[in-house]
Chain A
Amino acid sequence: MLLMGTKVGMTRLLQPSGESVPVTVIKVGPCVVTQVKTADKDGYSAVQIGFGAMKARNSTQPQIGHDAKAGSDPLRFHREFHIKPEEASNFELGKALTVKDLEGQMYVDVIGTSKGKGFQGVMKRHHFKGMFASHGTERKHRSPGSIGSLCSNRGYGGGLVKGKRMAGHMGDERVTCRSLDVIKIDAEKGLLLVKGPIPGANNGMVMVRPATRLYKSKAKKVAAAAAK
């Protein structure tokens, strides 16, 4: 399952134990089921959801019609998630998915678009160390240095291998934060509080899904806690 929401911002929660927990607040949903795709008709089973109010004059006629089929006003974002064919009965056209559907989840994945940083050098973009501050280095303190020889770049054809880390555009890309702790769910206000930062600027659209699979260190921690 997948839900959409907006990043509200970060704050801290002071727990009764005195602990201060850094949280990001996400206003989740309501997302409207705008289409249920079936294997017969579309070749695969999936659910399409829409989120975010939008003025009709900024939308397009086909899009307005598509959303109207679900009984909804024009929506800004549409995303899909795959389901098993037998789950299709859980999602009917026009059904609203809210943060309530995440209740009971301990961990979620949050997907967003990171803040754009523009054209950046290798030190910021790839955490290169740069070159010497002195010892004869002139005007090349932040440059990448050698990018290898024909031998180390062996991609055949004599050029560089693709993906060679260099300066270039940084940020403004899809980032997934996996296995974030769910601190609190406020169904009334539609708020989801996760521990730590999530990608993107405040007010940006983010997608939330139940954690597909915990990353290794966290899975170990959970297993250790469960063993106790």
Chain B
Amino acid sequence: MSQKPDSQTAILESLNTLKTDIPRMDVGDTINVHVRIVEGDKERIQVFNGVLISRKGRGVNEMITVRRIVEEVGIERKFPIHSPMIAQFEVLRRADSRRAKLYYLRDRAGKSRRLRDRRRGLKHVAGLPLAGQG
């Protein structure tokens, strides 16, 4: 009963070991998500490529939404970033975003969808610090 709130959060956070090798990813970046897929006793990696349009939650609850266009149909997938089913994140291209959530991309088609990605290009990808270090 006499517990401090801090110690409660500390207990809850100590239950999961979080990944430390997640690259710095910001909303607007184009990323590759390497997803582990288990079929029977075989395991393979599937890559999901798209634009990071939302990042929400803290700690073990942190989720990202990645949007890609397949045959003119928008596909969005959500990933818990600390899930063991995700082998790796790769940042392919970084972009300036003036919004924290890029939901407006859902209403865009054609060129207006692509414009935003280009501003800074690839030059910022090299030598990026890991999350939490930069």
Q: Which residues of A are in contact with B by a Cβ distance under 8 Å?
A: 6, 8-18, 20, 23, 25, 27, 52-54, 76, 189, 191, 193, 202-203, 205
Contacts and interface: CB of A to CB of B under 8 A. Distances in A.
Given A8-B8, A12-B61, A18 B15 contact: no
Contacts, number: 56
Contacts of B1: 6, 52-54, 76, 203, 205
Contacts of B13: 11
Interface residues of B, number: 19
Dominant SS among interface residues on chain A: strand
Interface of B: 1-3, 8-9, 11-13, 15-16, 36, 38, 60-61, 80, 82-85
5 contacts: A11-B13, A13-B16, A14-B84, A53-B1, A205-B1
A53 B2 contact: yes
A203 B6 CA distance: 12
Contact of A20 (B2, B9, B15, B80): B80
Nearest to A12: B60
Contacts of B2: 53
B9 to A, nearest CB: 8
A113 to B, nearest CB: 13
3 nearest A-B pairs in the assembled complex, by CB-CB distance: A18-B85, A11-B12, A52-B1
